[in-house]
Amino acid sequence: MVRPPCLPGIPVVLDNESNAGRAYNDMVARYLGEDLPMRFLDTERKGIFSRLFRG
């Protein structure tokens, strides 16, 4: 007996609206030889005090 999945849907890497899906598509395009800019490299790192005091 095969049990159906609890949360049916599409895999996150196939969702072009998610960051994971866009990153996956970019990686495949680069592998196939396209020259794309790198996404998600500029992240704002917040320290513990800025998270606590929203500053």
In one-letter notation, the amino acid at residue 43 is T
> Is residue 45 a part of any domain in this protein?
no
Residue 19 CB contacts under 8 Å (≥ 6 apart), including other chains: 40
**Domain extent for 23:** 12-36
Predicted local confidence at residue 38, as pLDDT:
87
And the tokens for 1?
Answer: 């007996």
Structurally, how many domains does the chain consist of?
1
pTM listed for this prediction: 0.57
Return the residue matching tokens 């890497």. 13
CB 33 within 8 A of CB 24: no
3-state secondary structure of 37: coil
Give pLDDT tens digits along the chain (55 positions): 666 666 567 787 888 888 888 999 999 999 999 998 888 777 666 777 777 776 5
